[in-house]
């Protein structure tokens, strides 16, 4: 138990569906992240939020729409996804932004997404 | 595209063996190098954040070194145990805020 929870743990959706992934951290951290792990590809950092403000969008298609209403919650809204978007989506948090000296990230268990 | 390479891709060792693997990254625009351990069916676990050339970090039997001038980091595991079996990932972060992960080294420790 890392203090970062994600729901749902598994999601199957059609290409025309709209769904949302939720991440919540109980650690009092200021920064939150979305990562994507596709089969046979390196882990990819998608979005970074710091104090609820988006600080990074790593060329993620607009069919992925993040939302950070407060420092404890992070959502990833999904619409008109493609089968190649099927992947494990991981959320993480850290006290301060990634790379700060001694700054450690904590990851959630991930949501396994399948797009049919 | 930033080239971050990890070697070897996989490694099988006997319990008690010491082992090490490598993460290579560009030597320019360096900001930080992260090491993670990812066990099957679990969440990734952050091991080290390394920011200064010559950094050495240690956590129990695991340690890491950093050479930013030549663009590499080594991860060492002393006296490997079966519970060390996992994929070890490194991530290179630039001073422009871009992160790139390596493919990982998958370690299997046989009892």
The 10s digit of each residue's pLDDT in A55-110 is 989 889 999 999 999 999 999 999 999 999 999 999 999 998 876 655 688 999 99
Sign of CA dihedral B15, B19, B9, A88: positive
Cβ distance B62 to B76 under 8 Å? Answer: yes
Q: What percent of chain A lies above the pLDDT cut of 90?
A: 80
Residues of A within 8 A of B49 (CB-CB) are: 99-104
In this predicted model, what pLDDT tens digit does every residue of B1-31 receive, in sequence order?
678 999 999 999 999 999 999 999 998 899 9
Contact A99 B49 (CB under 8 A): yes
At B3 the three-state DSSP class reads coil
Work out the minimum CA distance from B110 to partner chain A, whole angstroms: 25
The minimal CB distance from B46 to the residues A58, A90, A105 is found for A105
Other beta carbons within 10 Å of A14: 10
In this predicted model, what pLDDT tens digit does every residue of A35-53 receive, in sequence order?
999 998 999 999 999 999 9
- Beta strands in B26-85, from DSSP E residues, in sequence order: 30-38, 45-50, 56-59, 62-67, 72-77
Using the predicted structure, report yes or no on whether residue A2 has a pLDDT greater than 80.
no
Cβ distance A73 to A29 under 8 Å? Answer: no
- Arithmetic mean of pLDDT over chain A: 92
**Nearest by Cα to B10 from B111, B109, B83:** B109
pLDDT-based confidence at residue A30 (cuts at 50, 70, 90): very high
**Nearest by Cα to A77 from A68, A27, A98:** A68
Structure-block tokens of residue A97: 């932004």
Q: Does the CB of A12 have a partner CB in chain B at under 8 Å?
A: no
The minimal CB distance from B46 to the residues A48, A104, A110 is found for A104
Q: What are phi and psi of B53, to 5 degrees?
A: -55, 130
């Amino acid at each position: 138990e890392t203090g970062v929870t994600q729901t749902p743990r598994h999601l199957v959706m059609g290409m025309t569906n709209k769904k949302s992934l939720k991440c919540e951290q109980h650690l009092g951290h200021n920064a939150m992240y979305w990562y994507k792990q596709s089969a046979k590809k390196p882990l990819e950092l998608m979005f970074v939020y710091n104090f609820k403000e988006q600080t990074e969008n790593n060329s993620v298609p607009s069919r992925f729409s993040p939302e950070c209403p407060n420092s404890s919650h992070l959502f990833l809204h999904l619409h008109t996804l493609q089968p190649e978007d099927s992947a494990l989506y991981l959320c993480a948090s850290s006290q301060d932004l990634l790379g700060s000296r001694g700054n450690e990230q904590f990851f959630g268990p991930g949501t396994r997404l399948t797009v049919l | 595209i930033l080239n971050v390479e990890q070697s070897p891709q996989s490694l099988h060792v006997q319990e008690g063996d010491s082992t090490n693997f490598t993460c290579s990254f560009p030597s320019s625009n360096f900001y930080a190098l992260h090491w993670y351990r990812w066990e099957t069916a679990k969440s990734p676990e952050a091991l080290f954040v390394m920011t200064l050339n010559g950094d050495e970090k240690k956590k129990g039997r695991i340690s890491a070194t950093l050479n930013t001038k030549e663009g590499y980091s080594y991860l060492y595991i002393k006296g490997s145990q079966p519970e060390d079996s996992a994929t070890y990932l490194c991530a290179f972060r630039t001073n422009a805020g871009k992160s790139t992960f390596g493919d990982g080294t998958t370690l299997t420790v046989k009892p």
